[in-house]
Structure 1
Amino acid sequence: MKVAFLVAPEGVEQIELTDPWQAVKDAGGTPVLLSTDNGPVQAFDHLDKADTFEVDRQVADAEVEEYDGLVLPGGVANPDFLRMDEKAVAFVREFCRTGKPVAAICHGPWTLVEADVVRGRKLTSFPSLRTDIANAGGNWVDEQVVVCTEGPNTLITSRKPDDLKAFDEAFLKEFQTVSA
């Protein structure tokens, strides 16, 4: 199981990157860090700078076919930067169109909104995205984890770091089905 983690050069919520990353490794998978630029990614612990992480590959050079699943961690700034990058948005859109599962937590669904892949889909997020998701045609619900299989691909979404255990379990189950 090879899993792409797509983040901006700055602003990813560290625990929403590192916890799912470790879950993929613990399941015997290979996580790959993609970003819009090469070099280190600056993670955050809410509003405070945390650790940095080296990018494995630029999203512009990545092919959807190489991966079994995609994880979109949150952090307020991270998805806001990603949704302004055409190549990142195109990568997410293509991932969904090819039927591969995508998991997004907290503010991560903002990138899904920009990719126009939430219309008619049930999902959750950090509560402040509720209106954005509804305006994009999605059905926002306040649940710990939502697995939506209606549509071209499976979307797995969660609200916040407190939901990480359920999020990890749900996306691993879906990703392992694809890689089997």
Structure 2
Amino acid sequence: MILIIAIAHKKKLLSFWSVAIAVIFIAIGGWLLKPESQEAKNLKNELYTIVNEQVGATSNMDKIRISNLVVSKNSGGWDVELSLNADKGFTMISTKQMMWQEAIKILAAVSEIDQLDEVSISWIYPVLNEQKDVEYKNVMSFTLDKATRDQLVWENLEPSILPDLVYDYEEHLILSE
């Protein structure tokens, strides 16, 4: 008899914990899958408009300019991650310079949005892999914070100094060829 009571008690305890764990997973899942806020949607729309107006909706290689756009809320405002398809220049040097020039156009325009904190830009460009197949890869990336953006006089900014102004600047070897 005691064995039957102990088994019944274990089943009730197991059922309780199963329900409790399910409720926790549902709550966490609902939090993680929370729909994007209207503020985030508005900010994304504004950023799409800025990029399209400043550098065009497509690259000169017929790729949609914005490959990916992520906005995330932080304690000081919003962080933005832009992945953009780059234009092709006559040489790799001119291609890199175009990336800098276009990034400055975008950064100058987004600097007017007060609630933006960090803006990260990544440029995507076709690169041959080891099998000699073309892959679209991140060839340049960097981040610029609000404090630095607010100090710059965008009209007088020489594109070649952009790597010295930003942080986390990375450049693929292809841009040095």
Query: TM-score, structure 2 length as denominator?
Result: 0.29
- Determine which structure has more spread, i.e. the larger CA radius of gyration: 2
Hey, which of these two has a bigger chunk of helix by percent? Answer: 2
TM-score for both structures, normalised by structure 1 = 0.29
